[in-house]
Amino acid sequence: MASTSSLQPISSLKLSNPRSQSHFHSQQQLGFTHSQAFAIQHLKLSKATRDQDRFSTERSSKDFTTRAFFFSKKHGSPREAPKQAKVQELNVYEINERDRGSPAFLKLSQKTQNSLGDLVPFSNKLYSGDLQKRLGITSGLCVLIQNVPEKKGDRYEAIYSFYFGDYGHISVQGAYLTYDDTYLAVTGGSGIFEGVYGQLNFWDSR
């Protein structure tokens, strides 16, 4: 995620899909080791029995976890109550290595302080939970909505996606606060993530 106060965000994305857990090791993955942490995101996705849909949220003192469920609609049949889903997890870190020219700060307001309308396009890299495998990238745009001087931060509207190469992507949208934890909505996905929904928590660990 983009940030006006730091160029080194790290996030953790928890994903699961029973159909695809064994397919994330592609030939394009690269090894990498990184120790600094800035921001953590947790997203847990799974496919419920009978292809129905629901979501719930879990939170601990150390991190934030969100659970969502894949679904596919069956035309002409009423929705049935979902059975308990088996959740499988994949931890993914989002890291800005400062080699993509990201983030870019576009001061469209032409004001000295951050103001409504300023744009922050960004793109970061995605790695596996052990930081040894390159899985893809994130890319998106943050639009500054409000500068909050009393909290020494800003409120953005964020629209961005997690890209996992040929396996598809997950898109999220919502408020991003540089001074507080925030939740963004999972708006959909493609490939093995088709039909996904739920919410993503952005956690600034500074």
Strand pairing partners for 185?
A: 173, 199
Taking only the tens of pLDDT, the chain with its 206 residues reads 654 433 344 444 444 444 444 343 333 333 333 333 334 455 555 444 334 333 333 333 333 333 444 444 455 555 555 555 544 455 678 888 888 889 999 999 999 899 999 999 999 999 987 889 999 999 999 999 999 999 999 999 999 999 999 999 999 999 999 999 888 998 989 999 888 888 887 765 45
Closest to 43 in 3D by CA, of 130, 142, 168, 170 = 170
Residue 162: the pLDDT is 94
CATH superfamily of 10-204: Allene oxide cyclase-like (2.40.480.10)
Residue 54: the pLDDT is 36
Judging by beta carbons within 10 Å of its beta carbon (0-12, 13-18, 19+), is residue 87 exposed, middle or buried? middle
Greatest C-alpha distance within the chain: 57
Residue 100: the pLDDT is 85
Question: What are the residues whose beta carbons fall under 8 Å from the beta carbon of 204, sequence distance 6 or more?
Answer: 3, 38, 39, 178, 179, 180, 181
Residue 167: the pLDDT is 94
Q: How many CB atoms lie within 10 A of CB 61?
A: 4
- 35 by DSSP, 3-state: which? coil
Reported residue count of the chain is 206
